[in-house]
Structure 1
């Protein structure tokens, strides 16, 4: 009986110490909340892709896969030496009125290069497209500086 009384009084004294908000024994004071600070939203500019559009899109193809499709394109830059070709999605990669649009971009060579023959300038790029993305798409367009080509269902 005396042991229970000692434990009860010790527990009561310990809990009484938790009543002070500055006490390190008070578990509610271990993490302090700070007042919410509101920050005004500012528009952050997404840097534009510095790579120019290729001069022409020669071909566009869509090959079905088990998970959707692969969009391929062959482009023609103005000279030899273009690299880092990519099909860059427009409209955040979402179809607009059933049309999915991509720009064909590539990095120019670091130094001037000869034009050369058409086959020596051709570059290709590809983009995987999921089945979910293609569900509402009737047409896919690839845009170049002087033309655009499309594949339709």
Structure 2
């Protein structure tokens, strides 16, 4: 037994001296994989939507769906020709994930691209006829965390409770 103790003690001391994580002789670092994460290599994009807000929100309502609700928002602009109208989150979120703020309020903006300035085809809009409509579907899972939805335009804010 004593003949075996000396070589084991020498081998243990030799391996212990290989110390540090950068040493290729350290058996503790042989199988350690690099830290893994689900975050994309460049990180989550934090680009906010640069489209301007629609001038005014005229109404907002909930429509029932089988697996949640549809948020329908109507707006009005002084001229016809707005395009790419959408409801976007007030703060940038990764991908298409939608989550409320810490207080349970989902903050959205009604945005769109106005017609080009100086365009001869731009006509004044008629109230009640030339409304701008955007919708967003929310699943039951998303709605479970939301207590209210706050939609902002250039001139007013509309709040809907669940």
TM-score category (smaller protein): 0.5 to 0.7
Which residue is 1:81 aligned to? 81
CA radius of gyration, larger in: 1
Q: Taking structure 1 as reference, are residues 129 and 117 closer, same or farther at Cα in structure 2, changes over 3 Å only?
A: same
Give distance in 2, aligned partners of 1:87 and 1:134: 16
Give distance in 2, aligned partners of 1:109 and 1:71: 25
CA offset at residue 81 of structure 1?
0.8
In the superposition, the TM-score normalised over structure 2's length comes to 0.62
Q: Is the 8 A contact 1:82 1:108 kept in 2?
A: yes
Give distance in 2, aligned partners of 1:48 and 1:125: 19
CA RMSD of aligned residues (A): 2.3
In the superposition, the TM-score normalised over structure 1's length comes to 0.65
Structure 2: unaligned runs, 5 residues or longer: 1-33, 35-40
CA offset at residue 56 of structure 1?
0.7
SS in 1 for 2:54: coil
Match 2:156 to one of 134, 147, 153: 147
Q: Is the 8 A contact 2:77 2:125 kept in 1?
A: no
Alignment of 1:29-108 (within 5 A): 46-91=46-91, 92=93, 93-96=98-101, 97-108=103-114
Q: Taking structure 1 as reference, are residues 117 and 99 closer, same or farther at Cα in structure 2, changes over 3 Å only?
A: same
Structure 1: unaligned runs, 5 residues or longer: 1-35
Give distance in 2, aligned partners of 1:139 and 1:59: 15
Give distance in 2, aligned partners of 1:62 and 1:141: 13
SS in 2 for 1:132: helix
Q: Taking structure 1 as reference, are residues 138 and 76 closer, same or farther at Cα in structure 2, changes over 3 Å only?
A: same
Q: Deviations over 1:6-61 (max 9, x none)?
A: xxxxxxxxxxxxxxxxxxxxxxxxxxxxxx9xxxx988864432321001111111
CA offset at residue 64 of structure 1?
2.1
If each structure's helix is expressed as a fraction of its own residues, which one has the higher value? 1
Aligned residues: 114
